[in-house]
Amino acid sequence: MGGPGGARGLRASMARVVLQKVVLAQKLAQFSERWSPKVVGDVGDFQVKLAKLEGEFIWHAHPAEDELFLVIAGRLTIELRDGAVELLPGEFLIVPRGVEHRPVAHGECSVLLFEPASTLNTGDARGARTVERLERL
Residue number, 52 or 67, with CB nearest to Ni ion: 67
CB-based closest residue to Ni ion = 67
Compare residues 67 and 105 and give the one whose CB is closer to Ni ion: 67
Beta strands at 67-80 and 83-87: parallel, antiparallel or unpaired? antiparallel
Establish how many alpha carbons lie within 13 A of residue 64's alpha carbon, considering only the half-sphere containing its beta carbon: 6
Strands (E), the chain: 38-43, 46-56, 67-80, 83-87, 92-95, 101-116
Query: How many alpha carbons lie under 13 Å from residue 10 in its C-beta half-sphere?
Result: 4
Choose between 1 and 45: whose C-beta lies nearer to Ni ion. 45
Least Å distance, CB 81 to Ni ion, is 14
Binding residues for Ni ion restricted to 39-78, rule: CB under 5 A? 67
The contact mask relative to Ni ion for 76-115 (x = CB under 5 A, - = no) is ----------------------------------------
Q: How far is the CB of 24 from Ni ion (least distance, A)?
A: 20
Pairing of strands 46-56, 38-43: antiparallel
Chain positions contacting Ni ion, by CB under 5 A: 67
